[in-house]
Amino acid sequence: MISSVIGLGKLGLPFALFLASKNQKVICYDSNKKILSEISQLKSPYVEPYTANYLKKYNKNIHISEDLGYLIKKSQISHLVLPTPSLKNNSFSNAYILKCLDEIALILLKKKNKKHIINITSTVMPGSCNIFTKFLVSKGLNKDKDFLITYNPHFIAQGTTIQNLKYPDFVLIGSDNANGKKLISYYNKIYKKKIKLSYLNTVEAEIAKISVNSYITTKITFSNFISEICQNTKNVDGNKVLKTIGGDHRIGNEYLGIGTKYSGPCFPRDNKALNYFIKGKSKYSLPNYIDKINNEQTHRLIKMIVKIVRFKKTLKIGIFGLTYKDNTSIIKDSQSYDLIINLRKKFSKKINVYDRNIKPSNDFLSKYKLLYNENMNLFVKYSDLLILMYPNKEIVKEVIKSKNKLVIDCWNLIDPKKTKSKIIKLGNYY
């Protein structure tokens, strides 16, 4: 089966490359010509690890096309990896997908042998696939005969997208017609049958997708909740407590540790979307409480900073890491972004910032009165209070080398015995 990928963004391009690495011929299309041109020159538009290497290694299986018609004619299955931005009410917009389906419908109507699988890979609200089917029928196409809508989201995280695609816990397929089972053989071929497949109807699959992320936000929030309790209890190390809790096999240690709030492009918005979806279906909203507790995490950190700075007003604050996690370029709504906005309400002095993944824009730096230092060494030298915002080995090494600094370790990364700086751990009584 020849596949096509429509939308070569932060998920679409790695997914197309992953398919290419599995010897699949993939036709790729994006409405943004700049992205197509960069990919044609074998340059990755994203900092995502492996994408640049995969482009060089597997480009023989990738065919870039600027013609959606060619792509629909030549492939039997199209993966739609289009944006579904959150609306003000926290549900997801289907506008990009509907616009693309409109174009696909025109192409399919003219095609003799139709039978196209339109596989929705974007994260959508429960009920959306039914809307897409009705939309295509309203354009004159025959459901299940000319086209089939399936839902097949991937459980990936930025920074590890290709690795997550290579080694998924399971592949989720949603279909309302037995023909959707073709996707089972499609993935069995790709993964050489070494993979767990979950085959549901589309609404079940749509609910499952956002619920997985909502569950993870619940676990992270539980960790932060216990971490806060420990921090306010004399002689208690939150890390030890959480490690012990996670030792129970029913709980497990993943996502159960000391850390900042959760952020990024998926966790908060999927959790909020579930909160939107459950209205009228459940009396109490767990996702709503999770969201509220998560938003408190920055204030928790600010309280610590205020306590420290109160005694040493001349301290220069240094925020170590701006993106929401390492190996990504997304600053917007990251834990550091939130910290900066809230610190600005309390402190007027310049704040030092450093990030190993990106150089922030001048607008961002001047808006929040930030001093960016490209050199990690100098950044540490010019800061007195360092706040470690995401885990990274290089950052840990630099802090261990430092002397006479105050360090807020938000992720339990540093062994205090290994450095001449003073380590203050989130989750420890302070």
Ligand X SMILES: NC(=O)c1ccc[n+]([C@@H]2O[C@H](COP(=O)([O-])OP(=O)(O)OC[C@H]3O[C@@H](n4cnc5c(N)ncnc54)[C@H](O)[C@@H]3O)[C@@H](O)[C@H]2O)c1
CB of 381 to ligand X, least distance (A): 35
If one counts every other C-beta atom within 10 angstroms of the C-beta of residue 79, the result is: 27
Contact 154, 165 (CB under 8 A): yes
Contact 355, 322 (CB under 8 A): yes
Pick between residue 156 and residue 309 the one whose CB is nearest to ligand X. Answer: 156
Residues contacting residue 119 through CB under 8 Å, at least 6 positions apart: 77, 78, 79, 80, 150, 151, 152, 183
In 3-state terms the chain splits into helix, strand, coil percentages (rounded to 5) of 45, 15, 40
Query: Measured between alpha carbons, how far is 372 from 323 in angstroms, rounded to an integer?
Result: 14
Backbone phi, psi, residue 133, to 5°: -60, -50
Contact 224, 294 (CB under 8 A): yes
- Which DSSP letter does residue 136 get? H
Where does this chain bind ligand X (CB under 6 A)?
Answer: 6-12, 29-32, 35, 81-84, 96, 99-100, 122-123, 156, 158, 265-266
The residue of the chain with the least Cβ separation from ligand X equals 9
As given in the structure block, the two tokens for residue 326 are 């390492």
Pick between residue 156 and residue 220 the one whose CB is nearest to ligand X. Answer: 156
Residues contacting residue 267 through CB under 8 Å, at least 6 positions apart: 213, 216, 217, 220
CB of 32 to ligand X, least distance (A): 4
CB of 16 to ligand X, least distance (A): 11
Strand partners, 78: 4, 118
Cα 301 vs. chain centroid, distance in angstroms? 23
Coil, helix or strand for 147? strand
Pick between residue 35 and residue 256 the one whose CB is nearest to ligand X. Answer: 35
If one counts every other C-beta atom within 10 angstroms of the C-beta of residue 56, the result is: 11
Pick between residue 153 and residue 238 the one whose CB is nearest to ligand X. Answer: 153
Kind and range of the H or E run holding 23: none
Pick between residue 214 and residue 231 the one whose CB is nearest to ligand X. Answer: 214
Dihedral (Cα; 363, 41, 19, 391), 10-degree rounding = -30
CB of 157 to ligand X, least distance (A): 6
Contact 30, 11 (CB under 8 A): no
CB of 156 to ligand X, least distance (A): 5
Query: Measured between alpha carbons, how far is 172 from 124 in angstroms, rounded to an integer?
Result: 14
Pick between residue 4 and residue 175 the one whose CB is nearest to ligand X. Answer: 4
CB of 378 to ligand X, least distance (A): 32
CB of 7 to ligand X, least distance (A): 3
Find the distance separating the first CA and the last CA of the chain, reported in whole Å: 60
Pick between residue 175 and residue 329 the one whose CB is nearest to ligand X. Answer: 329
CB of 172 to ligand X, least distance (A): 12
CB of 320 to ligand X, least distance (A): 23
Pick between residue 29 and residue 379 the one whose CB is nearest to ligand X. Answer: 29
Pick between residue 123 and residue 227 the one whose CB is nearest to ligand X. Answer: 123
